[in-house]
Amino acid sequence: MTAPLRPGDPIIVNVALGERSYDIAIGRGQLNTLGQRIAALRSGAKAAIVTDETVARHHLAATEAALAEAGVAATSVTVPAGESSKSFPRLETVCEALIAARIERADLVVALGGGVVGDLAGFAAAVVRRGLDYVQVPTTLLAQVDSSVGGKTAIDSRQGKNLIGAFHQPVLVVADTALLDTLPAREFRAGYAEVAKYGLLGDAAFFAWLEANWQDLFAGGPAREHAIAVSCRMKAAIVGRDERETGERALLNLGHTFGHAFEAAAGFSSRLLHGEAIALGMSLAFEFSARRALLPRAEAERVTRHLAAVGLPTRVSKVSGGVPDADRLMELIAQDKKVKRGTLTFILVRGVGASFIAPGVDASEVRAFLIEKLAER
């Protein structure tokens, strides 16, 4: 793990994908550079900003001003906030708006928002005119460290999360950490789950650093930029080695097999935010690994203790409104994208920072574990 940079230093992380490589610009005030960066990348291009109603109130005017200052003509389309916008009807709305605005293949889509907007706008960019370039401007912690990087775009199916989508890499990511100041505390905590994930899956020293510095990260101190940069570097390195998730990239799904099932069971609603579901899923992944004698139970308890300390859910009983029984959860888990020929694949761990891909996990073992967890109070 690298040492924190000095406050105020711009941080550039490169995602190395040959001719499709791109930069992630991280730091306070980076939104002001958006127009300059786009003009340098695509001289003469127009831009279509896709955002949601909540983000538009806070950041759309500043985004339009940054583009106008650099001479980038822009239009915008706004969708309702929330996971429900990752749907066929909203995808149609965005696609038709891009076409009506005469956004051409030489132009750009700007995804201004959290993970929902990034996934929706990125997927629209992937399919309109058989592929438009797009720029990610993530406005949540979760999006800055995870969903804006790596080119996964998708909408949800009635049968599960992110089941309809495409790999489509952005040409630029601008992560202005000042935009996180407007996030509700619950949203920020949910995003922190994805930060912790990077330490848990492959960097024990980073997780230990988070245990010691998470309060400064939450308060907006230098730890915030450092944690985002470390997370982005880890994801960029993994994506550079395995862009299409044929191997190592699956490790980024630590906690997601359990988490997505709980998120779907909660109706993709405010009952359980994505990051909250992932925190719960990671806690269960460590407990399940300990149950299999892959690591000491004390190590799993350490992880659960930290996630709980920052205010994230680690017990199934804490999910607002409850969850369905183990059989329904198993049906949802069976829709996980890592399932191969009907057999379950989980990301399990041998310790903090030591995750691995575990194919062929016995469904009956998972079901018994869920029954046990559902019974806890």
What tens digit of pLDDT does each residue of 67-120 get? Answer: 999 999 999 999 999 999 999 999 999 999 999 999 999 999 999 999 999 999
Residues that are catalytic: 130, 152, 194, 235, 245, 249, 253, 256, 260, 274
CA distance 95 to 26: 29
Closest C-alpha to 180, from 171, 189, 168: 189
Other CB atoms within 10 Å distance of the CB of residue 269: 13
Q: What is the value of pTM for the model shown?
A: 0.93
Q: What does DSSP say about strands 160-167 and 172-176: parallel, antiparallel, or unpaired?
A: unpaired
Which regions of 145-186 does DSSP assign to beta strands (E)? 152-157, 160-167, 172-176
Residues 116, 83 contacting (CB under 8 angstroms):
yes
From first to last of its 377 residues, the chain has per-residue pLDDT tens of 444 444 456 899 999 999 999 999 999 999 999 999 999 999 999 999 999 999 999 999 999 999 999 999 999 999 999 999 999 999 999 999 999 999 999 999 999 999 999 999 999 999 999 999 999 999 999 999 999 999 999 999 988 889 999 999 999 999 999 999 999 999 999 999 999 999 999 999 999 999 999 999 999 999 999 999 999 999 999 999 999 999 999 999 999 999 999 998 998 889 999 999 999 999 999 999 999 999 999 999 999 999 999 999 999 988 888 888 999 999 999 887 677 777 899 999 999 999 999 999 999 999 999 999 999 87
The second-level CATH assignment, the architecture, of 254-375 is: Up-down Bundle (1.20)
The domain segmentation of the chain, as residue ranges, is 11-182, 254-375
- The class level of CATH for 11-182 reads alpha beta
Residues 240, 17 contacting (CB under 8 angstroms):
yes
Output the six-digit token pair for 341: 């020929």
